[in-house]
Chains A and B, each alone.
Chain A
Amino acid sequence: GDSVTQMEGPVTLSEEAFLTINCTYTATGYPSLFWYVQYPGEGLQLLLKATKADDKGSNKGFEATYRKETTSFHLEKGSVQVSDSAVYFCALSDRRAGNQFYFGTGTSLTVIP
């Protein structure tokens, strides 16, 4: 079945450091891929998405490229800020699976000044 495997945390970085959070997926069809962010005490918010191979999603300085050959969708940011501290979830939506969402376990990021 469909699944998402996400880099385990927690991750602690200094401000302005480079961020990578790894995400790989397994899907029966051609899924859409997402990164969601959850700030403390809040619900999940869409950060970025990509709907087909080689698409790059980007938002707020974060980027992720849909790599079909490696079944990956790694999240990157060149220079993190304290305000980026949150939990990040990789997810996929597979139309062949009734458009259900499958989430990774989440990666907690703490950015220190």
Chain B
Amino acid sequence: NAGVTQTPKFQVLKTGQSMTLQCAQDMNHNSMYWYRQDPGMGLRLIYYSASEGTTDKGEVPNGYNVSRLNKREFSLRLESAAPSQTSVYFCASSEAPGGGQETQYFGPGTRLLVL
């Protein structure tokens, strides 16, 4: 049982390049999330998918797009990377809301450096 996996672990991009961060979970969770973590800012929600087939914006969606490919996979795309997107990106998943089952489980993170 791998939990939440993310690829790649580390990436360096030049300004203007594009890339996709991959995330997969094997816990049969309905909801998936993408966060970025910056020093002194905690975690901020970029996008989330409450269930397969739906996606919604979080606190900081600008410059990103997401795809909920199936129940297991949720990808994050940077179409034209900017230095301000240098961060550590975490994917998380949880069961559907309700009944105290809201715990989120996190992947190991992707460190992205945009030059």
Contacts and interface: CB of A to CB of B under 8 A. Distances in A.
A89 B42 contact: yes
Interface in A52-111: 89, 93, 95, 98-101, 103-106
A49 B103 contact: yes
Given A89-B42, A95-B98, A105-B41, A100 B106 contact: no
A46 B92 CA distance: 12
Interface string B43-63: 111001010000010100000
A89 B58 contact: no
Contacts of B108: 42-43
Nearest to A102: B45
B19 to A, nearest CB: 20
B103 A103 contact: no
B26 interface: no
A105 B104 contact: no
Contacts of B106: 36, 43-45
B42 A93 contact: no
B56 to A, nearest CB: 7
B7 to A, nearest CB: 13
Contact of B43 (A46, A51, A89): A89
A105 B98 contact: no
B97 A99 contact: yes
B31 interface: yes
A34 interface: yes
A22 interface: no
B50 A34 contact: no
A79 B41 CA distance: 29
Interface centre among A32, A46, A101, A106 (most CB of B within 10 A): A101
9 contacts: A6-B42, A43-B90, A43-B106, A43-B107, A95-B97, A99-B102, A100-B45, A101-B43, A101-B92
Given A32-B100, A105-B41, A106-B42, 5 more contacts: A36-B106, A44-B43, A45-B106, A46-B104, A100-B48
